[in-house]
Amino acid sequence: MKNFIYQRQWGWLASGITLGLAFLLAVAFVKPVGVSTQFVILDGIVWDIFSDDVTIESSTSKTGYSSTNAYLNKGGGKYAKNIANPLNYSFIFVLAMVAGGFVGSKLQSDKVEKNEIYFIPKIWEKRFGSSLNKRYLATFLGGILVLFGARLAGGCTSGHMMSGIMQTSLSGYLFALGAFATAVPVAIMMYNKEE
Q: What CA–CA distances, in Å, run from 66 to 37, 46, 50, 62?
A: 17, 17, 17, 9
Residue 87: CB minimum distance to other proteins, A: 6
One of 53, 62, 129, 183 touching other proteins (CB under 8 A): 183
22 near other proteins (CB under 8 A): yes
1 near other proteins (CB under 8 A): no
Q: What CA–CA distances, in Å, run from 80 to 77, 120, 150, 151, 181?
A: 5, 37, 19, 16, 34
- Identity at 184, one-letter amino acid code: V
Residue 34: CB minimum distance to other proteins, A: 8
146 near other proteins (CB under 8 A): yes
Give the number of residues written for the chain.
195
Give exposure, 78-111, as e/b (b: 16+ Cβ within 10 Å).
Answer: bbbbbbbeeeeeebebbeeeeeeeeeeeeeeeee
One of 113, 115, 144, 194 touching other proteins (CB under 8 A): 144
One of 75, 84, 119, 131 touching other proteins (CB under 8 A): 119
One of 53, 71, 129, 131 touching other proteins (CB under 8 A): 71
Nearer to other proteins, 56 or 93 (CB): 93
- End-to-end Cα distance, the chain: 39
* Pick from 135, 159, 175: nearest CA to 40: 159
One of 64, 69, 76, 86 touching other proteins (CB under 8 A): 69
3-state secondary structure of 65: strand
Residue 194: CB minimum distance to other proteins, A: 11
Residue 142: CB minimum distance to other proteins, A: 3
One of 48, 77, 82, 161 touching other proteins (CB under 8 A): 161
56 near other proteins (CB under 8 A): no
